[in-house]
Amino acid sequence: MNIPTDNPDSPANNSDASAEHGGANDMASPSTGSSNHSNPPVDLTPVFTDMGASEQEQRRLALRSMLAATEARQQQGKRSRNQTLAAGLRVGVRAGEHAGSHGIILDADYIHSRVLIDLDDSAAAVWVNFNLVSAL
- 109, 127 contact by CB (below 8 A): yes
Residue 14 CA to residue 34 CA, distance in Å, equals: 24
For the whole model, what pTM was predicted? 0.41
Could you tell me the residue range of the domain that residue 61 belongs to?
A: 51-80
The DSSP element (H or E) to which 65 belongs, if any, is: helix 53-80
Minimal CA–CA distance to 112: which of 129, 88, 96? 129
- CATH classification of the domain holding 115: 2.30.30.30
Q: What is the pLDDT of residues 73-84, one digit of tens each?
A: 888 877 666 677
Q: What is the pLDDT of residues 15-69, one digit of tens each?
A: 454 444 444 444 444 444 445 567 777 666 777 777 888 888 888 898 899 999 9
- 99, 131 contact by CB (below 8 A): no
Whether 70 and 107 map to the same domain: the answer is no
Residue 95 CA to residue 42 CA, distance in Å, equals: 61
Residue 13 CA to residue 11 CA, distance in Å, equals: 5
Whether 95 and 131 map to the same domain: the answer is yes
Number of domains making up the chain: 2
According to the model, what pLDDT value does residue 2 have?
54
Whether 70 and 94 map to the same domain: the answer is no
